[in-house]
Amino acid sequence: MFLRLTYINLIIFIAFSFNLNSQVTKGENPFEAERTMQEEFAKSLGDDLTKAAASLPVGNSINPDFYYLGPGDVLSFTINPIQPYPIAVQVTPSSSIIIPRFGEFDVKNLTITQAKDAILKELLKRNPNFTIDVSLQKARMSMVSIKGNLLFPNIYVMPSSFQVSTAINYANKINSAEISQSQFGAVNKYNELNKEKFKAFNEGKISPVSQFSSRNIILLRPDGSALSVDIEKSKINNDPSINPFVREGDEIIIPFEKNDYPQISISGEVNRPITLPFKSGDSASTLLKFGYGFTQDADLNNVKLYSNNQTINLEVDKNGKLLSKDFPISEGSLIIVNSKTRAQNSQPSVVSVYGEVNNPGVYVLDENSNLVKDVIAKAGGLTKNAYLPLANIYRYYAVSDFKMDLTREFSEAFRYSNLTLEDTTRFLIDMNYPQNFVSCDFSKLYEKNDSSSNVSLKSGDIIYIPSQPKEVYVFGQVKNPGYVAYVPNKSMDYYVEKAGGYSDGAVKKRARIIRGRNQIWDKPDEGVFVNAGDQVYVPREPDIPIWLQIQKWGAYAAILGASVTFINMLYGIYLYSIQNKK
């Protein structure tokens, strides 16, 4: 019985060994093959090519049906069941790959998919049970010439995983370390103008300016062929065939804008209103896709196509897909996506009141109670501690758009003014630090019942009624600068005196009161009093460099000398006239 079981086990072992032997190349044993595969896998993980691949830019997502292999590409291979671990294989300068234990395979002018099919076809001749997986692990670097209508025409080195559109964006990137300051300023100015244009078109939901180059780029291949690149259509259809991956030696030509060419456009409640060149083969669904979907205000029952003096109502879904049968369009076609009829804004308008009022909080505005006094009355009125000279109304306004050129807004605002050049510094300061307050004098409103200060409010306004501060801050050229206790109805001189009086070098006529409510500088004229929370500033004589003083006195001397010369000349003329009379 024991011998019978031994023979059975021996037969199973021989069969198993024979099965393993049929899956490896002749002369190998399964244990040696397993050890070899493990060593190759470990080697591939530590290979320099694998490490370098992780540090380089990847580019676009690779579609293996459209990416053509070339020297320098690194592929990842698995061959089941003989090579279950991925190994890195580089395309040689002769456009071939060498797979360990399987030999060399020609991949010239083949896509990844075509190369995979060709290699699998050869391997199946050896074993019909083989399956393989091939993926691009690292794209080769290619030299590509980009010229025409772009910021920096040049020859660029970039991964071959870049499509033409990505290559152009790469060429248009700004590196301030590589260009002159004047070029950097010019590029910033160009970008600012484009940003303003885009903002205007976005708010108006129309783009009357066509982007000619985006559908008419020319790609010249080293083999003498030429392709027309349509970036816009490639994106909406996810079609790399009309926005291909770059190859070594490619020449990309971006055309300049033309004055007159056929156009199509889509406007209204779409995510991207756009005007584009018309291309043969464009259809209604294509033009809809160029809008990249609808906004939330789009009326899906009011989408119209205007073409050849006809108006066609389009049936669409919420994703911008044409529900009816598609049809070709002609040049000049226009789609307008109208907006829904919107009811009046039902959101209530609210105002916040805090500080020295009896019931601080948020209050709703209505047509009959939208004035300052109305809202403060809703808040229970002012407390006995309310200090009106410092009260204010804050109104939020969106910060102006970020500008690379910080002086542009100033220059645009100042260019038509009749102010002197000396006014520019203060004007620039005032522009850079706007105060988001509503013009309202609470003292006049409540103490003098001045109705002109009872201003209307807007939703989001914030009314602040502070309590009375206890001090006035005195600084500058005084003997003891610091806080001085506030006393009502006192002039600036009183507070200067309490701060020790004027120090040496103080210029009394230039001293000013800085109002705590709005930082306005007031002259200490007669009858002008300092309020609690104000500041008193006493400046000194301006420091004038010695060379400038010499120039000033030299100018005075020159003027005096010229005056003396002129007087002597007049006196000589006078004497000459008297002598002639005699």
DSSP labels, 99-136: ETTTEEEE-TT-BHHHHHHHHHHHHHHH-TT-EEEEEE
Tens of pLDDT, residue by residue over 392-416, are 999 877 655 556 566 666 677 667 7
pLDDT: is 45 or 364 the higher one?
364
Q: Would strands 521-522 and 512-514 be described as parallel, antiparallel, or unpaired?
A: antiparallel
- pLDDT for 211 equals 80
Helix axes 2-21, 30-46, angle to 10 degrees: 40
Q: What architecture is the 471-538 domain classified under in CATH?
A: Roll (3.10)
- pLDDT for 166 equals 94
- pLDDT for 226 equals 96
User: How many angstroms separate the Cα of 38 from the Cα of each of 84, 199, 301, 494, 540?
Assistant: 10, 59, 64, 93, 85
- pLDDT for 405 equals 62
Give the separation between CA 422 and CA 545, rounded to whole angstroms: 20
- pLDDT for 13 equals 42
Beta strands in 46-95 (DSSP E): 74-80, 83-90
Tens of pLDDT, residue by residue over 121-143, are 998 988 888 999 999 999 999 99
> 417 and 424 in contact (C-beta within 8 Å)?
no
Nearest alpha-carbon partner for 372 in 283, 281, 445: 445
CATH number of 144-339: 3.10.560.10
Q: Is the pLDDT of residue 235 over 90?
A: yes
Q: Which residues contact 10 (CB under 8 A, 6 or more apart)?
A: none
- pLDDT for 548 equals 67
- pLDDT for 17 equals 43
Order of strands, sheet of 74-80, starting from the edge strand that comes earlier in the sequence: 83-90, 74-80, 131-138
In the chain, % helix, strand, coil (3-state, to 5) comes to: 35, 25, 40
Identify the H or E element spanning 394. Answer: strand 392-394
Beta strands in 184-340 (DSSP E): 217-220, 226-229, 251-254, 263-268, 274-277, 298-307, 310-313, 334-339
- pLDDT for 239 equals 94
Q: Which residue has the tokens 């910021």?
A: 151
Order of strands, sheet of 462-465, starting from the edge strand that comes earlier in the sequence: 361-365, 349-355, 462-465, 392-394
Q: Is the pLDDT of residue 53 over 60?
A: no
- pLDDT for 33 equals 47
Q: Which residues pair with 87 in a beta bridge?
A: 77
- pLDDT for 406 equals 61
pTM beyond 0.85: the answer is no
CATH number of 21-139: 3.30.1950.10
Mean pLDDT, residues 523-542: 87
Q: Which of 43-47, 376-380, 421-425 reaches the highest mean pLDDT?
A: 376-380
- 164 backbone φψ class: left, alpha, beta (φ>0; ψ -120 to 50): alpha
* 296 CA to centre of own chain: 24
Tens of pLDDT, residue by residue over 285-298, are 999 999 999 999 99
